[in-house]
């Protein structure tokens, strides 16, 4: 069955991004593959990175861990949401480690798993998940593989970055653990003081640019294509799409493409989105519909029904065009794409 949408994962670019992030950090780099590999396919992403030498992977839930399946020998998997009451049996069956993020979870794991290794999240200032620094003495007796924290403002030059770094250093010096890990993609760009023993990139692996320091080093990973459903002419004075927001100033060649906001191509792209066919830029005209967009194909008179058109989706540029964050653009890509 033909799917009129394609999402191509550029595995070479993915691996190149991981290698740059690891070299920049100067320490081991894992990979956040939660949310189905940020929408690009966790199994495919994990396989490509494992082959390149990545050994540490992170998901959010035990369901995601199960869906990911078996990893290569020597690789490890951490579940960031820890082990809640309803997760315990599944966690005990799994080879993955929970990232314990509350004293309730610490008690639950200690009572059920004994000396089985775990990871622990320390809340150094985000007030999201994590054990507070003053509670860290209650971690005594756990076999901790990776002691973690998470930066709240690493994509900005914010004073909280340095505060979190010092808080984490203090806890890491006091709590026995095999490794310490603080930096995400943006944190890697803050410098090697933030790297510790393991960095945990997510966004930058997939083509996102978290800070200016990464610009020019991170390659596009997600490439979208949509099929042309119809070629038509919008005559001078006629409008295109809902709300009649675009009115043709002259007879305009239009291609209608099989993609819309149900696929994660958001309404915010109206006025700024574009596609490409054989090197020609085709600007979006009118609003984005649930399943369709229209582009001005005057620059590509050869385009026909059934042709594949590239959707311009370089993440920093797409975020600027749509007003959406790079994270939302990636993880919002829908299930109608043929992933290849």
pLDDT at residue 248, as a whole number: 97
3-state secondary structure the chain: CCCCEEEEECHHHHHHHHHHHHHHHCCEECEECHHHHHCCCHHHHHHHHHHHCCCEEEECCHHHHHHHCCCCCCCEEEECCCCCHHHHHHHHHCCCEEEECCHHHHHHHHHHHCCCCEEEEECCCCCCCCECHHHHHHHCCCCEEEEECCCCCCCCCCHHHHHHHHHHHHHHHHCCCCEEECCCHHHHHCCHHHCCCEECCCHHHHCCCCCHHHCCCCCCCEEEEEEEEEEEEECCCCEECHHHCEECCCCEEEEEECCCHHHCCCHHHCCCCEEEECCEEEEEECCCCCCCEEEECCCCCCCCCCCEEEECCCHHHHHHHHCCCHHHHHHCCCCCCEEC
pLDDT at residue 1, as a whole number: 76
pLDDT at residue 38, as a whole number: 97
Nearest to 258 by CA among 315, 331, 311: 311
pLDDT at residue 70, as a whole number: 87
Residue ranges of domains in the chain: 10-214, 222-313
Gap between the Cα atoms of 203 and 328, Å rounded: 10
Q: What is the pTM of this model?
A: 0.96
Query: Which residues are CB-neighbours of 318 under 8 A, at least 6 positions away?
Result: 269, 273, 312, 324, 326, 329
**222-313 CATH fold:** Lyase, Ornithine Decarboxylase; Chain A, domain 1 (2.40.37)
pLDDT at residue 72, as a whole number: 85
Q: Quick one: 308 exposed, middle or buried, by C-beta within 10 A (0-12, 13-18, 19+)?
A: middle
Query: pLDDT (tens digit, 0 to 9) for every residue of the chain, 340 residues total?
Result: 788 999 999 999 999 999 999 999 999 999 999 999 999 999 999 999 999 999 999 999 999 999 998 898 889 999 999 999 999 999 999 999 999 999 999 999 999 999 999 999 999 999 999 999 999 999 999 999 999 999 999 999 999 999 999 999 999 999 999 999 999 999 999 999 999 999 999 999 999 999 999 999 999 999 999 999 999 999 999 999 999 999 999 999 999 999 999 999 999 999 999 999 999 999 999 999 999 999 999 999 999 999 999 999 999 999 999 999 999 999 999 999 999 8
Active site residues: 34, 242
Other Cβ atoms within 10 Å of 176 Cβ, number: 12
Gap between the Cα atoms of 327 and 118, Å rounded: 28
**10-214 CATH fold:** TIM Barrel (3.20.20)
């Amino acid at each position: 069955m033909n799917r009129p949408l394609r999402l191509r994962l550029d595995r070479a670019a993915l691996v190149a991004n991981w290698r740059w992030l690891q070299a920049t950090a100067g320490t081991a780099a894992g990979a956040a593959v939660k949310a189905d590999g940020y929408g690009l396919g966790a199994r495919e992403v994990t396989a490509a990175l494992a082959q390149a030498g990545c050994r540490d992977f992170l998901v959010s839930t035990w369901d995601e861990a199960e869906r990911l399946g078996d990893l290569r020998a020597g690789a490890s998997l951490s579940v960031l949401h820890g082990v809640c009451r309803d997760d315990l049996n599944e966690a005990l069956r799994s080879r993955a480690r929970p990232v314990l993020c509350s004293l309730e979870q610490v008690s639950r794991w200690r009572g059920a798993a004994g000396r089985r290794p775990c990871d622990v999240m320390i809340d150094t200032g985000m007030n999201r998940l994590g054990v507070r620094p003053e509670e860290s003495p209650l971690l005594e007796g756990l076999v901790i593989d990776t002691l973690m924290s998470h930066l709240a403002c690493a994509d900005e030059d914010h004073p909280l970055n340095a505060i979190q770094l010092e808080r984490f250093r203090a806890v890491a010096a006091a709590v026995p653990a095999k490794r310490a890990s603080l930096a995400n993609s943006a944190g890697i760009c803050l410098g090697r003081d933030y790297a510790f023993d393991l960095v945990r990139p997510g966004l930058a692996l997939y083509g996102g640019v978290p800070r200016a320091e990464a610009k020019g080093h991170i390659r596009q990973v997600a490439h979208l294509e949509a099929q042309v459903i119809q070629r038509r002419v919008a005559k001078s004075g006629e409008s295109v799409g809902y709300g009649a927001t675009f009115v043709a100033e002259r007879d305009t060649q239009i291609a209608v493409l099989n993609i819309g906001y149900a696929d994660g191509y958001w309404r915010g792209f109206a006025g700024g989105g574009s596609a490409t066919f054989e090197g020609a830029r085709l600007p979006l005209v009118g609003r984005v519909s649930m399943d369709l967009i229209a582009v001005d194909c005057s620059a590509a008179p050869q385009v026909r029904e059934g042709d594949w058109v590239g959707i311009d989706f370089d993440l920093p540029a797409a975020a600027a065009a749509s007003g959406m964050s790079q994270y939302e653009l990636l993880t919002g890509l829908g299930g109608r794409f043929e992933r290849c």
